[in-house]
A = this chain, B = another copy of it.
Amino acid sequence: MTYTVALLAEAVGGILVGDGSRPVVRVATPAAAGPQDLIYIDSARHLAELRASGAGSAVVPRDVLPPPGMSGIQVDRPASAIARILELLVPSARAFHQVSPQAVVDAGAVVAPDAGVGPFVYIGPGARIGRRTEVHPGSTIGRGVTIGDDCIIYSGVHIYPETVIGDRVVLHSGVVLGADGFGFVQEPAPGGAPGVCHRKVPHVGRVVIEDDVEIGANTAIDRAMLEDTRIGAGTKIDDLVMIGHNCQIGRHCIVVGQAGISGSSTVGDEATIAGQAGLADHVRIGRRATVGAQAGVTKNVADEGVVLGSPAMPVRNARRALPLIERLPEIRKQLAAHEGRLERLERAPNLER
């Protein structure tokens, strides 16, 4: 189907400015765009890029007019509109529509008739794959795993037994769900030998991924010791994140790349954990709280709290304090100078003490 600016404006509930009959074949960046391309700017700050672009059309904020000759779609939230337009222009094609003869599906597994299972996928006994869900090549779905409808399990995803996955979940390649939590009890070495050893604590809990969660490449989420490690509905997790056993992550959270959440921590709804941040175990992050990039959190963070730094501190403190680390040599120098001046003053012969 060929879209015109007018059709797209209608689809996103925007106001058409200029020629609505212009065709749109793709979304492009301002620098790369040509007459059949649509661009977008988020705010009037990017007006120069808009004007310099060779694009035929643009999605713009309500207060921006496209330059002469460019068609425009004015909307409240350009980024949302572009997400919708991309969905229309580049409809996601299903790659697998049936069970590949090169897959191994246990006789005791139930795969919905309209699910797609690629080659080299193993589906264990008792597993259930929901309607229209796709499992790409080389993934492993363990015994008793439940996967809901309309999920995409990309290639090379490994899901341990008993994991529960809701509807519309997206798991990118290399995701591992349900590996044993890192739980060991330190014991004396056996047989009276000196030293210690670490005895494994069997992990009999599960991982539960609620609806509409997306999890990035090579992220690992460990099963709980007794109950569930849970990722709340709508939460989005980036690549290479680690979430330890027993964690409870709320709904509609954002967890950015390489963040690490230690065991038994809880994260409130709509919270953000930025990249490479680390949470100690048993920490509680409040609703809508934000943990900044590379922060190290060892104490609870209140609802709406924003922390930064390692150890983490309130962001308003961090923004003033962290840049001063660079000034420490100067601080020391000034201190030394004060020391000398104080000594001179204290030695002043006519100063009565």
Name the distance in Å between A337's Cβ and chain B's nearest Cβ: 9
Residues of B within 8 A of A275 (CB): 260, 262, 278
CA–CA, A90 to B22, complex, Å?
62
User: Which residue on B lies nearest to A350, using beta carbons?
Assistant: B352
Check A204–B27 contact: CB distance below 8 A: yes
* Also in contact, A293 and B280, with CB within 8 A (given A158-B155, A179-B173): yes
Proximity string of chain A (314-353) to chain B, C-beta cutoff 8 Å, 1 when within and 0 when not: 0001101111111111011011001101101110111111
Chain A, interface SS category: loop
Check A332–B324 contact: CB distance below 8 A: yes
Name the distance in Å between A29's Cβ and chain B's nearest Cβ: 6
Residues of B within 8 A of A176 (CB): 156, 172-174, 217-218, 239
* Also in contact, A342 and B342, with CB within 8 A (given A258-B260, A275-B260): yes
CA–CA, A160 to B262, complex, Å?
30
Check B258–A80 contact: CB distance below 8 A: no
Residues of B within 8 A of A134 (CB): none
* Also in contact, A120 and B118, with CB within 8 A (given A102-B104, A310-B294): no
Q: Which of A1-9, A11-19, A43-51, A249-257 contacts B (4 or more CB under 8 A)?
A: A249-257
Proximity string of chain A (132-149) to chain B, C-beta cutoff 8 Å, 1 when within and 0 when not: 000011111011000000
Proximity string of chain A (193-225) to chain B, C-beta cutoff 8 Å, 1 when within and 0 when not: 001111111101000000010101110101000
Question: A187 on the interface (CB 8 Å rule)?
Answer: yes
* Also in contact, A342 and B338, with CB within 8 A (given A158-B155, A276-B260, A326-B309): yes
User: Which residue on B lies nearest to A345, using beta carbons?
Assistant: B345
CA–CA, A260 to B252, complex, Å?
23
Which residues of chain A (97-147) have a CB below 8 Å from chain B? 100, 102, 104, 118-120, 122, 124, 136-140, 142-143
Question: A185 on the interface (CB 8 Å rule)?
Answer: yes
Residues of B within 8 A of A344 (CB): 353
User: Which one, B140, B222, B257, B313, contacts A136 given CB within 8 A?
Assistant: B140
Check A202–B83 contact: CB distance below 8 A: yes
10 contacts between A and B (CB under 8 A): A83-B201, A140-B156, A154-B160, A182-B239, A182-B257, A196-B270, A200-B214, A220-B239, A238-B242, A320-B329
